[in-house]
Amino acid sequence: MAYTLPVSGYFTAKAINPDEPAWSMFMETIGRKGRARIQVKSILEYENKIAGKFTGAFVAFRTNSV
């Protein structure tokens, strides 16, 4: 997490949807291999200003339905 402004009260965190090619690749990979990784960006807003940014890689595993 990279903070650009101090936060001393209520804030909002927002995740930004991955672009369509990245999402399509994620869905194709999880369908084919049963697991996939995707990068998600998020921002932290405080007093209507961007106070922080985060980019993380997330992994999903397909489970067998019962």
Percent of the chain exceeding pLDDT 90 equals 92
Whose tokens are 């997490």? That residue is 1
Three-class SS state of 14:
strand
Residues 6+ apart with CB under 8 A from 38: 18, 22, 23, 26, 57, 58, 60
Whose tokens are 């990068």? That residue is 39
Domain boundaries, the chain: 2-49
Q: Whole-prediction pTM value?
A: 0.75
Write the pLDDT tens digit of every residue in 48-66.
999 999 999 999 999 875 4
